[in-house]
Chains A and B, each alone.
Chain A
């Protein structure tokens, strides 16, 4: 694996382009998927992903080794996602409708090419999960995404979202309460297997 993230970002601060690329390779999947889960729209997520690494590069001097590198990069990513979400609220898109919470939900389009029985179910279930998460209040949703998908610790989450550790614990507990209910049919199905 080689250098630690914190060592690499120090190299970036010194102007090393190789280190920057290495960081990109390490985090590209995580950041893209984080953005995808936050924004739902692929094009937006791709823009954000590119931006995150550009910011990393142009504002590398602002990173202080006090925080973990991963916390820093997720903070950047989060800020960019949140401002993109805010901008979105201004527009009624032709391609997405907003549910009650202002969450964008793509017009329901079954893929006409998905005739493979197996694949179909999988996709349905994933959409189901997405919807359940989309229904969560924003903070809870963010915590679930950071914890369950990006695997950040509570401590890291509290730093990225700028809330207390206690709040993280309570909010994720509440989120799980909701998800337990919303995902119940899926869980039943899974346990029947």
Chain B
């Protein structure tokens, strides 16, 4: 009997061209006569085709650079055959020792002077490392100086390291290797494995980045920050400012353009915003560089600042503020500000908190931007607690179990001491974990209080539950019993961000991503109410423009938050959350109806093009309602426990547009926006200028208790001189 299965196996190999000539002929002959095998062949081909749907991804330029640098480091310099491997080992040993030193230093930070010295040495390594790469494009003299400095620095460090490692009880060093070698069954390796090197490359960059300057944005996924990303931006910028800027470093932002109100009367977006871009821009400017254009997300810069919007009246959760005036950078246009203010909850009035911190102290939490930052953040939080609050600390991995029993918030010393004792490292221990954390929360449950487990981790976390489905079940069960889950992410790449949020979501909690000290301050001090208490979720804004009054409009920023107009009323569509006391600001640049654009010629000699490129409709006659409104602002939100949204509306009348708004909020927000347009060299910047920005910002500086606005003014000045310098550089280069 003819064996079809065998034939099919042949056909399978045939589709891969893995058959001999005779086999090929056999298959082809058979296919001519057998319909079912023909079918089989085409099915296989379809399978092959559909597999391709899972397409390839690219390396981020950042990863590529890191690997190249790692290779260059590991590679012996210069020729010689036998010596190479020894040198490579020595170099990689040095690299790992530096990593070990940084780790060691992290753990015992502040306890030795050496630690401080090494910190600054490491700080320098970061910068020099970069300079050296950039040095390839600089002149030889600078390059030589850099190399010399770096060599002598490394020699010095190696010396110091030798002292440290020999002198101390070696605990730091062994801990690191122990963790890495846990699965090598006790044999401690005396030379670094490449996996350590590779991991070292990743962590080292993270450490350098953190010790150097505060990091910030870089990605446009909500709440997400990619620390590692930052380093390569830094060294690319220096060399490419003078050449074509490589726009692949950041996801390209295609700015929102002007839309004709007649064709697109609705503008819809989610309020979910970070403030990361501002921190990032700040970092570049403090380093003496202009930030890459795509790193400037204007809405994040505007929202970094707090504005003096009125509190909602009565039981309301929000207040909606609208302001209009002439657009400062384009006098033919108007600028409308939409401000959303969440209800502030006085910290004293916050319901009593029953908090259980579940902290990941596994080895991977060692770098500075993880456990040490976490500890600092908790210290900030503890300062805010009251007698009616209770705090407990549970750790997992390392010292298993309860580090601090439930303690009143007034016993600050005791709590702070317990936090201080936390150390990363050590092998995995069974035992304590999320179940323990919830148990303690249960035992100290406060009726009508905020009962919450706060999980702090870098993501690589063994929660002590045997499988993940159990974990989710526990979280959901506890949520139904009134114990919520907040998740704090430290030092993680942005790809895990949405998952962390999802877990917090299941736990009816919130999540925050803490990447540096200033962010920790924001989350735990300035916006503590918002952190502990979200007042609304799925908050969306939709604005309808009146074509009779508005010819065209442009939303400044929020490119990544845009929603489809149908999503506004669709309660199934997620959007952002608003914490207590948080505010959100959006600016629309408006071309009023009746402004004759054909006369408008800007500096380059271009004229504004007409906006409506759409043919008039044939089967519908749009009747524009007679109204004095400029636009209507609608807001949808859900209370934290609800699944149905509520609606708020507010009209903005055309006559409300003033010549120049005296309102500080408007002045300052528009100054920040104008600054953003300049940094982006936006095609919509029109007559924006640094002087204008400074003038308005200075006038609107207000109380500025935290000093952020003053800092802003300083940054604008820096940017101003940098961009002036850039122009003169170009001239001398010609």
Q: Is the CB of A106 within 8 A of B468?
A: no
Whether the Cβ atoms of B53 and A94 lie closer than 8 Å is no
Residue from A15, A54, A153, A183 in contact with B70 in the complex, judged by beta carbons closer than 8 Å: A54
User: Quick check: B44 and A180 within 8 Å, CB to CB?
Assistant: yes
Closest 5 CB pairs of A and B: A97-B468, A51-B198, A50-B198, A173-B12, A54-B194
Does the CB pair B67–A50 fall under 8 Å? Answer: yes
Least CB distance, A50 to chain B, in whole angstroms: 4
B460 cross-chain contacts in A, Cβ below 8 A: 91, 93
Give A53 to B50 CA distance when docked, in angstroms: 31
With a CB–CB cut-off of 8 A, which chain B residues contact A3?
Answer: none
Q: CB-defined interface of B26-70 with A at 8 Å, one 1/0 digit per residue?
A: 000000000000000001101111111111111100011011101
Our pick among B52, B199, B499 for the contact of A109 (Cβ within 8 Å) is B499
Q: Any chain A CB within 8 A of the CB of B713? A: no
Q: Which residues of A contact B138 (CB under 8 A)?
A: none
- Closest partner residue, chain B, to A56 (CB atom): B71
- Point out the residue from A54, A125, A172, A191 that lies within 8 Å of B71, measured CB to CB: A54
Bound-complex Cα distance A54 to B71 (A): 6
Chain B 542-584 per-residue mask, 1 if CB under 8 angstroms from chain A, else 0 = 0000000000000000001111100100000011000000000
Give the dominant DSSP class at A's interface: helix
Q: Is the CB of A109 within 8 A of B74?
A: no
Cβ-neighbour of B13 out of A122, A169, A187 (below 8 A): A169
With A42-B495, A92-B468, A107-B503: A17-B57 Cβ-Cβ less than 8 Å:
no
A79 to B201 CA separation, bound complex (whole angstroms):
20
Beyond A32-B57, A50-B67, A93-B461, whether A169 also contacts B502 by CB under 8 A is no
A63 CB-CB contact with B under 8 Å: no
B472 to chain A, nearest CB (A): 8
* A187 and B85 contact, Cβ closer than 8 Å, known pairs A47-B199, A126-B55: no
Inter-chain contact B468/A125, CB cutoff 8 Å: no
**In the assembled complex, how far is the CB of residue A71 from the closest CB belonging to chain B, in whole angstroms?**
16
Does A46 make an interface contact (CB < 8 A)? yes
Q: Residues of B contacting A24 with CB < 8 Å?
A: 67-68, 71
Which residue of B428, B455, B560 is within 8 Å of A113 (Cβ)? Answer: B560
Task: Let me know if B609 is at the binding interface, CB within 8 A.
Answer: no
Indicate if the CB atoms of A50 and B457 lie closer than 8 Å: no
Contact A148 B51, CB 8 Å, known A29-B56, A92-B465: yes
CB distance from B690 to the nearest CB of A (A): 33
Chain A nearest CB: distance from B461 CB in Å?
5
Separation of A170 and B13 alpha carbons in the complex (Å): 9
CB of B53 within 8 A of CB of A187, answer: no
Residues of A within 8 A of B449 (CB): none
- The reply to whether B468 and A93 contact each other, CB–CB distance below 8 Å, is yes
A161 at the interface (CB under 8 A from B): no
User: When the two chains form the complex, which single residue of B63, B468, B503 contacts A98, counting CB atoms closer than 8 Å?
Assistant: B468
A interface vs B, CB < 8 Å? 14-15, 17, 20-21, 24, 28-29, 32-33, 36-37, 42-43, 46-51, 53-55, 57-58, 61, 80, 86-87, 90-98, 106-107, 109, 111-113, 115, 122, 125-126, 128-130, 133, 144, 147-149, 153-154, 169-170, 172-173, 176, 179-180, 183, 186-187, 190-191
- Closest CB of chain A to B669's CB: distance in Å? 24
Determine how close the nearest CB of chain A comes to the CB of B194; give it in whole angstroms. 4
Cβ-Cβ contact count across A and B, 8 Å cutoff: 204
Complex Cα gap A173–B201 (Å): 41
Please tell me if the beta carbons of A15 and B76 are within 8 angstroms of each other in the complex: yes
Contacts A183-B50, A187-B46, A187-B47 given; does A58 touch B74 at CB 8 Å = yes
When C-beta atoms are compared, the residue in chain B nearest to A47 turns out to be B198
Q: Does B463 contact A (CB under 8 A)?
A: yes
**In the complex, what distance in Å separates the CA atom of A183 from the CA atom of B44?**
11
With A54-B197, A126-B54, A129-B51 as given contacts, are A107 and B502 in contact (CB-CB < 8 Å)? yes
Residue of B43, B67, B88, B467 touching A49 (CB-CB under 8 A):
B67
User: With contacts A15-B76, A24-B71, A115-B563 known, is A147 near B47, CB below 8 A?
Assistant: no
Q: Are A90 and B428 in contact (CB under 8 A)?
A: yes
**Contact of B498 with A109 in the complex, beta carbons under 8 Å:** yes
Q: Once the chains bind, are A47 and B46 in contact (CB under 8 Å)?
A: no
Q: Point out the residues of chain B lying under 8 angstroms from A17, CB to CB.
A: 71-72, 75, 77
CA distance A50 to B293 in the complex (A): 29
Q: Chain A residues near B9: list those with CB within 8 A.
A: 169-170, 173
Are B46's CB and A191's CB within 8 A? Answer: yes
Interface contact B468-A33, CB-CB below 8 Å:
no
B18 to chain A: closest residue by CB:
A154
A43–B495 touching, CB < 8 Å: yes
B79 touches A (CB below 8 Å) = yes
A122 touches B68 (CB 8 A): no
Chain A residue numbers with a CB within 8 Å of B463 are 92, 94
Q: Write out the residue numbers on chain B whose beta carbons fall within 8 Å of the beta carbon of A21.
A: 68, 71
Q: A129 to B49: give the CA distance in the assembly, Å.
A: 11
CA distance A122 to B52 in the complex (A): 11
In the assembled complex, the Cα of A86 lies from the Cα of B366 at a distance in Å of: 23
Q: How far is the CA of A46 from the CA of B495 in the complex (A)?
A: 13
Given A20-B71, A57-B74, A180 contacting B202 (CB threshold 8 A):
no
CA distance A143 to B43 in the complex (A): 19
Min CB distance, A83 to chain B, in Å?
9
Inter-chain contact B50/A94, CB cutoff 8 Å: no
Q: Name the A residues within 8 Å of B564 (CB-CB).
A: 115
Our pick among A15, A54, A179, A180 for the contact of B198 (Cβ within 8 Å) is A54
Beyond A32-B57, A180-B47, A183-B51, 6 additional pairs, beta carbon < 8 A: A46-B202, A90-B428, A92-B462, A94-B471, A154-B16, A173-B13
Interface pair A51/B50, CB less than 8 Å apart: no
CB proximity of A172 to chain B, nearest CB, Å? 6
Cα separation A113 to B224 with both chains bound (whole Å)? 13
CB-based contact B469/A97 at 8 Å = yes
Partner of B57, one of A33, A47, A53, A80: A33
Partner of A179, one of B8, B51, B272, B457: B51
Q: How would residues 467 to 502 of chain B score, 1 for a CB under 8 Å from any chain A CB and 0 otherwise? A: 111011000000000000000000001011011111
Chain B 667-692 interface 0/1 with A at a Cβ cutoff of 8 Å (1 = within): 00000000000000000000000000
Q: What are the residues of chain B within 8 A of A129 when measuring CB–CB?
A: 50-51, 53-54
| Contact across chains for A113 and B59 when beta carbons are under 8 A apart | no
Q: Contacts of A48 on B, CB cut-off 8 Å?
A: 198
- Given contacts A92-B466, A94-B471, A154-B18, whether A29 and B59 have CB atoms under 8 Å apart is yes
**Cβ of B57 and Cβ of A92 under 8 Å apart?**
no
B383 to chain A, nearest CB (A): 28
- In the bound complex, residues from chain B placing their C-beta under 8 Å from that of A173 are 8-9, 12-13
- Chain A, residue nearest B9 (CB): A173
Instruction: Show 27 residue pairs from A and B whose CB-CB distance is below 8 angstroms, ordered by the A residue.
Output: A15-B76, A15-B78, A20-B71, A21-B68, A29-B58, A32-B57, A36-B57, A49-B67, A50-B66, A50-B202, A51-B195, A53-B67, A53-B70, A57-B75, A57-B88, A86-B183, A94-B471, A95-B459, A106-B499, A113-B222, A113-B561, A126-B55, A148-B51, A169-B13, A179-B47, A180-B44, A191-B46
- A122 nearest in chain B by CB position: B53
B64 touches A28 (CB 8 A): yes
Asked if B50 and A43 make an inter-chain contact with CB atoms under 8 angstroms apart, the answer reads no
- Distance between B254 CB and nearest chain A CB, rounded to angstroms: 13
Tell me, yes or no, whether B84 is within 8 Å of chain A by CB: yes
A112 and B459 CA atoms in complex are apart in Å by 21
